[in-house]
Amino acid sequence: MDIIIKKEYKENFPISLERLIKRLLLKVPEKDLVGIGTIVLVDRVYTSSRDNKMNKVRGGIYIPKKGGGLAKIMIAVGDIYKGMPRLLFYLPFIPDILIAGVLYHEIGHHCQFSTHGIKRDYEEDFAEKYKEKLLKKAFLLWGILLIPFYPLVKLALYFYSRKDKQPIKT
């Protein structure tokens, strides 16, 4: 089954995100992809709440199939790569793992929803465990190669994760 990857983002990234997604999907068991029709790459993802307010979703969202249709995954590449220096796109590991975490998490929701029947209270835990399992599979070699640099990578990820928070006052 072929999953359609749609480019609906405006940002001009120095790498092909569509090709990157196709490469990351090769690490996912075929049975876990059955029922997903489209992966849409957008700048931002919004959902509407019960009070009709638009809520920004950081990362991505899984949209279950309706009727006889197929499920859809939307990934907010504009948010994932927001503020990332262009130079980091040319390092083979950095852009891959950032988008892989979101993609695998949303595929985890698809598996939970379509096959495993996990209760709603545990769906985020299931998706996170699924993501971790696939990240280990997809990036095993990188994990081994980066062991000596682990403290530096951890520090970089810490500062990168703080980018949406208040600046540090001195």
Quick one: DSSP state of residue 165? Answer: S
> What is this structure's pTM?
0.78
Which residue ranges make up each domain of the chain?
A: 4-161
pLDDT tens digit sequence for 140-168: 776 666 667 667 767 766 765 655 544 44
Is residue 80 within 8 A of residue 59, CB to CB? The reply is yes
Quote the pLDDT of residue 165: 46
More confident residue, 72 or 158: 72
pLDDT of residue 56: 59
What CATH architecture does domain 4-161 belong to?
3-Layer(aba) Sandwich (3.40)
Q: What percent of the chain has pLDDT over 70?
A: 75
HEC profile of 97-140 = HHHHHHHHHHHHHHHHHHHHCCCHHHHHHHHHHHHHHHHHHHCH
